[in-house]
Structure 1
Amino acid sequence: MSAPVFSAHAIAKRFGATVALARLDLSIGAGEVVALMGANGAGKSTFVKIVSGVQAADEGAMTLDGQAYLPGSPLAAKRQGVATVHQSVADVVVPALSIADNLLLDELCGGIATIWTPRARRHARARELAARVGLEGVDLDAPLGTLSLAAQQRVVLARALATRPRLLILDEPTASLSSAEAERLYTLIDGLRAEGVAVLLVSHRLADLRRLASRVAVVRDGRTVAVQDAPIDFDTALETMIGRRLPVGTPNTDKSELIQRAKPALELRGVRLGAHSEAFDLDVRDGEIVAVVGPVGAGKTRLAQAIFGATRVSAGTMRLYGEPWRPRTPREAIRAGVFLAGEDRWRSSLFPDAVPFASVAGTIGFPFLPRWSRAGVVPRAKERDVAREAIDTFGIRCGGPDDRVARLSGGNQQKVLLARWHAEPARLLLLDEPFQGVDAGARADIAAMLRRRAAGRATLVFVSDLEEAHEVADRIVQFDRGTVEVTREATPAPDALIST
């Protein structure tokens, strides 16, 4: 192979006594997509931050096109030819600004363009960037917030490509995309490969890795422990990644008769999510796990929020274990044993680090403090006991109940959120994209845990990925344009993440 576009040798990083990276090695050639596979907390995010200039390595060396590469900031990284598209679009866009201004945000901040640059010239440049990622025809003067999340991500990608990078880093690029939107992104990446761009891909979705990866580098405990060229043996890669075999099992084999005899837990009749949506019916029985699957924007989150009392349905009735169900607020839903783990954990559920109770224990116990408190006194001992049990049950990688959630890896943050809604018994558990940012091993463990605890409640799982639905559900409901399209029994997907 010719000299790599990018190489990293013996990269190490410590945070106090915690070793985040321990001599990680990686190289990427022109036109290659190298996927970084690793469990939550393996060091992937730390490595991406070092390569993109957010943090500095303690040890090791990096090169870019054969020259020493040591970025002091993200701007320095971009100027040297390394562009990063982070998982969270919300962190790098300004929804109130126009689409054109968001496309040119880096150039405006870097002095390449200014607000005094003639509007026609700015719009011509914005159109050029938009066209490269398939956003022709959009109203460049419209606020960015009017675009779908997938389109906003393409705006961020267009900004990253504006500098013609030699290395493009994609961090969970399809986490919030439908399969059709993901395919458009794949096609775009194919074009970049043809131009000789090196790509570092971080993704927990096997579909991404199968479609894109030239090689995978498996990281465990901050080290590169294996490298595989395509075609990739994913069973071996996954087992190497987590250091053990994945749990074996299928979610549907012995439950169907029991579920059919079980009483209805949730009944929706003639429900319309919006004035112009088609009415639909939906039943979920006690002990059943139903996956509601559909593309981004299909209405899944709106349905979850309506059941939880965060929004209202336009028409129709809901019943919970035979009683009329129309919660006025989420607090009322929680009191009745209806819990929702929201799609965007930071917007809906988790607390900033500055908040006093943003620890693992405080985050898990927060919704239940009114029922746990006695005479207004919060029982900290109970909080910690519940948190310790959750840490063991969910395999949360942290130092203990008092660790700050904001300082955990994304996958461990997601586990804390799921643990919260298992701290008290639920009658109806609503999980909106519960596997987002969770590695394959943890995903299989969480799916197995949900199946083990399914008795005595109904569970609705809202996902965009059909593979994830097959992994956890007894029954799958296809959802689109705010209504049920089709319902069918779940069967293990042929490429399920559970080893078979």
Structure 2
Amino acid sequence: MPLLHIENLTRSFGATRALAGADISIGSGEIVALMGANGAGKSTLVKILSGAIAADGGSIILNGSIIAPRTPYDAARAGIATVHQSTDIVGAAGQTVADALLLHRFAEGATPFFVSRNSLRRQAQTILAAAGFSLPLDRDFGDLSAAERQLVAIARALANRADLLILDEPTASLSGEESRRLFDILLRLRSQGLAILYISHRTADLEAIADRAVVMRGGRIVGGFTRPIDFSNAIEAMIGRRLEALQPVARMRAETTTFEMRDVRLLPTSSPLDLSIRQGEVVAITGVLGAGKTRLLSAIFGAGKLAAGTMLLGGKPYAPRSPAEAIAAGVAMAAEDRHRSSLMPAGWPGHSLAATISLPHLRTWYRRGILFGGREQREAAAAITRLGIKASDPLASIWSLSGGNQQKAVIARWEAEPSRLLLLDEPFQGVDVGARRDIIEAIRARSDRATLIATSDPEEAYEVADSILSIDRHTLQPIAVDATVDSVFQGTHA
């Protein structure tokens, strides 16, 4: 008998049928990859298993007993631990790492009323040691990077003695070394009998650890693949069509140089770097976490400073002191963590798709301070058509959309107004193959600007860019345009 057996699970949101009779089984000591395009039903399935929402119909059997978790606490008591892609619910600014690691115990009343700081630190250290991670316990959670917040979430989930661990895009913000460490932990947990449902768009992750893969489309399981997993067929089942060639179609680029960096040092101790991007060109920078990708883009966008060197935009000196100055000069940026940097919280006035797109343009669209919905709704409607955003209408909440459609909305924000240079930091994080192709087509359709993309996934760089640079220790190195995907991988991890 499998540890988990789901049969004919259904769930609708109004007229939208998110789950249309999903069936899946997972055995003890098994890692099952769940694949599916954004909107296929993966998130709905996970929310039901984790107690965030209830199913309309069907059954969930765990350890031989029927369960119907109504809250995350119910799911945890039943033996299900979930690590979500967004880490906003893991902790908050003002809390220490130790506080965040022990938050679930406080919520459950599992700690005494009076407890010393040293005792909390010892308990938190035990949790980290069991997970195999190392983090500064007294550091403010709000100061952690996306990767560090993910490690806290995973360590805390592992601290609960669960029978089933659900991981939603766990390596999206992790470096190669951190990912390998996580894989070692998951393989150890599997050998101890833990069942793991692993959701990721990264085939390299699934190839490394998955025993088998199941594919969702349209709220149903449409395919199953055992190891060695045939990812070409799995992805075709996922998106419902044949795969297109990875390498982008070559196109003519203007000879005009849009942006230059000369003798730039990101840190006082780093080597100088030069960068040149022509109008209509898409350049990708790839490298492991901490190599300097985000620091480079932040400096260009006025959110950080260079240690040395000069920048030129359209042949003229460019040195923005703030993102506002960068935007005024024609430089736009979509930051790495869209949940923190680009999306307004649910329930706020600006949480609709239309408002998400219009937010940075309010001063130019509504110069007299009077807001009219027509302009932003027209832009959102055009984006729905152009980028294939799956939304009921322009006023739909951005939080009702899947991760890939949220990212399309962020891209649409900077498509709404002309720009000279577009900066994209990890634009495909948590985005499936189909949505990624839509975003890439939108990026490459623009010949009136230059585009600089930072990605930790070399395959993504190869798929989108005209030219690729690897970055290591804040130093850039070119990679041949006609390189194979394997050589791109080797170039960024050498």
TM-score bin (small chain): over 0.9
Answer yes or no: is the 8 Å Cα contact 2:176–2:289 preserved in 1. no
Give 3-state SS (helix, strand or coil) of 1:27's partner: strand
Counterpart residue type for residue 468 of structure 1: E
Give the aligned partner of residue 56 of structure 1. 54
1:426 paired residue among 406, 419, 424: 419
Give the aligned partner of residue 32 of structure 2. 34
Give 3-state SS (helix, strand or coil) of 1:25's partner: strand
Which stretch of structure 1 is more off in the superposition, 147-156 or 207-216?
A: 147-156
TM-score for both structures, normalised by structure 2: 0.92
Return the alpha-carbon distance in structure 1 between the equivalents of residues 468 and 487 of structure 2. 17
Give the aligned partner of residue 230 of structure 1. 227
The 3 A distance-change label for structure 1 pair 119 and 201 is same
Return the alpha-carbon distance in structure 1 between the equivalents of residues 92 and 355 of structure 2. 31
Q: How does 1:58-137 map to 2 (within 5 A)?
A: 58-114=56-112, 116-117=114-115, 121-135=119-133
Return the alpha-carbon distance in structure 2 between the equivalents of residues 490 and 134 of structure 1. 39
Return the alpha-carbon distance in structure 2 between the equivalents of residues 195 and 65 of structure 1. 16
Matched, 1:413 2:406: yes
Return the alpha-carbon distance in structure 2 between the equivalents of residues 112 and 378 of structure 1. 50
Distance apart, 1:483 and its partner CA: 3.1
1:246 paired residue among 243, 246, 250: 243
The 3 A distance-change label for structure 1 pair 167 and 387 is same
Distance apart, 1:154 and its partner CA: 2.5
Counterpart residue type for residue 317 of structure 1: T
The 3 A distance-change label for structure 1 pair 114 and 359 is same
Give the aligned partner of residue 197 of structure 1. 194
Give 3-state SS (helix, strand or coil) of 2:157's partner: helix
Matched, 1:176 2:173: yes
Matched, 1:296 2:289: yes
Give the aligned partner of residue 456 of structure 1. 448
Which stretch of structure 1 is more off in the superposition, 351-360 or 298-307?
A: 351-360
Deviations 1:164-215 (A, max 9, x none): 2100000110000112211111111110110111001111111111112222
Counterpart residue type for residue 232 of structure 2: D
The 3 A distance-change label for structure 1 pair 146 and 402 is closer
Answer yes or no: is the 8 Å Cα contact 2:131–2:185 preserved in 1. yes
Distance apart, 1:329 and its partner CA: 2.8
Which stretch of structure 1 is more off in the superposition, 111-120 or 333-342?
A: 111-120
Distance apart, 1:153 and its partner CA: 2.4
Q: How does 1:322-471 map to 2 (within 5 A)?
A: 322-373=315-366, 376-378=369-371, 380-453=373-446, 455-471=447-463
Answer yes or no: is the 8 Å Cα contact 1:279–1:483 preserved in 2. yes
The 3 A distance-change label for structure 1 pair 144 and 357 is closer
Give the aligned partner of residue 164 of structure 1. 161
List runs of 5+ in structure 1 lacking aligned partners.
none
Which stretch of structure 1 is more off in the superposition, 99-108 or 11-20?
A: 99-108
Give the aligned partner of residue 7 of structure 1. 5
Distance apart, 1:122 and its partner CA: 4.2
Answer yes or no: is the 8 Å Cα contact 1:24–1:223 preserved in 2. yes
Which stretch of structure 1 is more off in the superposition, 441-450 or 95-104?
A: 95-104
The 3 A distance-change label for structure 1 pair 490 and 155 is farther
Distance apart, 1:109 and its partner CA: 2.2
Counterpart residue type for residue 126 of structure 1: A
Distance apart, 1:152 and its partner CA: 3.5
The 3 A distance-change label for structure 1 pair 4 and 340 is same
Return the alpha-carbon distance in structure 2 between the equivalents of residues 370 and 97 of structure 1. 35
Counterpart residue type for residue 415 of structure 1: K
Give the aligned partner of residue 187 of structure 1. 184
Return the alpha-carbon distance in structure 2 between the equivalents of residues 377 and 16 of structure 1. 33
The 3 A distance-change label for structure 1 pair 8 and 388 is same
Deviations 1:219-239 (A, max 9, x none): 111111222222222121112
Matched, 1:474 2:466: yes
Give 3-state SS (helix, strand or coil) of 1:295's partner: coil
Deviations 1:255-294 (A, max 9, x none): 4xx55x7122111112223344433221112221111112
Answer yes or no: is the 8 Å Cα contact 2:268–2:307 preserved in 1. yes
* RMSD of aligned Cα (Å): 2.3
Distance apart, 1:97 and its partner CA: 2.9
Distance apart, 1:249 and its partner CA: 5.4
The 3 A distance-change label for structure 1 pair 143 and 55 is same
Give 3-state SS (helix, strand or coil) of 1:91's partner: coil
TM-score for both structures, normalised by structure 1: 0.91
Return the alpha-carbon distance in structure 2 between the equivalents of residues 145 and 388 of structure 1. 35
Return the alpha-carbon distance in structure 2 between the equivalents of residues 141 and 370 of structure 1. 41
2:204 paired residue among 197, 204, 207: 207
Return the alpha-carbon distance in structure 2 between the equivalents of residues 381 and 18 of structure 1. 26
List runs of 5+ in structure 2 lacking aligned partners.
489-494
Answer yes or no: is the 8 Å Cα contact 1:84–1:168 preserved in 2. yes
Distance apart, 1:64 and its partner CA: 0.8
